[in-house]
Structure 1
Amino acid sequence: MLDPPGMAETAGATVREIWRNAITAIFGQWIDDDEWSDADARRVVELVARENARRVSGLP
């Protein structure tokens, strides 16, 4: 069975939105609780996102 046109793109967008909302909620709470600085949270999120993109894309 074939997926309707655009379905994979929509699913990908949904997964990205879920990830973005979850990471924002988690790190946002740590920042609000003064456990992490905004700069540290941004740095870690960038590292995690970059590594995930490399892994998913098959980049070295």
Structure 2
Amino acid sequence: MNQQQQQLQQCIQDCQDTLNKLQSFTNKTQDVRLKSTLTESVHHLDMCVRECQFATKQVP
């Protein structure tokens, strides 16, 4: 694995950690509006992680 791939993998891991924290906040909040916003944020970050995972498969 080259340095670029390692950096991408670290970025993905950092995003997944943030995603897990956001999901935890989402599960704990009772505020309906906040829960909705956090749920949307989790979804968008999850999509970014998936795109980055796809990109890692494209890098030789």
TM-score when normalising by structure 1 = 0.49
Bigger relative contact order, structure 1 or 2 (CA pairs below 8 A, ≥6 apart): 2
TM-score when normalising by structure 2 = 0.49
**Larger helix share, 1 or 2:** 2
